[in-house]
Structure 1
């Protein structure tokens, strides 16, 4: 009987012992993600390509050279600035990230001043500073120069009522004569005392808060080096 009891104890111990699992194979590494193709400006600035696609060509598409490509915050669209007369009267195009949906959003007597084009923070709009021409007199009735917004989904254009400068971005002074300066005020509005000035070539200007409407224009608080104050945002363009 005792001899049989020993066998029973051993059987119970074996049954209760944890089973040794066969080591599982380590999971396969994820397949490497191919980087999304980006639009590329040719070395001579005359073509814009995306992979094998030729998206724009100087002359054929109505400009002298390709100046700049700017992607939307979500990288799902990009805008292209093409140089026109002296690279002042510039043209603008919009594309989806895959190169489809080509759309020219400027027209005759409706140009981008230099590189004054930027994305809204949510990527729903492109803003650009519209001019008639820097080299010819515009016909009567042509809209006055100023910031314009283009709604990406519909292409609708209107004065840039939704333009809000982004604290994460840096800005440069623009549309100020080279021998002039931009006044920085101690408060919003042209009647406020002057805190200092920015040269016409100033860059690296940071917006430090929310804009305030004064005298029909939006003024934003800024910092430039040690200088802080308020500037009319119409004279700032994203770098």
Structure 2
């Protein structure tokens, strides 16, 4: 699809040497993409070197800022472009599926797209984190989402600049969805065949989901306070 609009992809990465090269190369295969920015969030492995070896522009942080902090760090490098895509670094070859998120924006059918992943191949948690996120989005926006935690998104420049700054921790996605929808922008989930590193039912997996639950709950409380202040103003 030919277009004069500039499409940039922003990818936060922390210790992703296993996937970063294949992710970048897959994104490069998308004809509409003009720029790829990797924000290295204080990695201690070969993430930076590998990303640069395939020609990506890498922004580095000496400290681990978390996903939201990394996105905020990289925002100024893409905020003047027409369409901004947010992707995780561990998508590997499946990152090429991001084209399905970009096209509806280019065609002006929607203002933000969210990747709807296929069913997980391994059993993770018991649905508590996803359930909390779905319920929170439903309460604040009326939207019933299938992939409320998906970090793979495309949006217009207008959306991107109005939702800044990104929330901290694992509250990034739910905050982004709620803020965008409540501002009246068109939001749509798009089915994709993306895959990423999944967490299982082990200690590491449960600790990860515990942090997710904490951060999402915190963000919902903060949003409740902000919305309440707006209504009472």
Pairwise TM-score range, normalised by the shorter structure: under 0.3
With CA pairs under 8 Å and 6+ residues apart, which has the higher RCO, 1 or 2? 2
Q: More helix by proportion, 1 or 2?
A: 2
Q: Decide which structure has the larger Cα Rg and report it.
A: 1
TM-score by length of 1: 0.26
Q: More strand by proportion, 1 or 2?
A: 1
TM-score by length of 2: 0.27
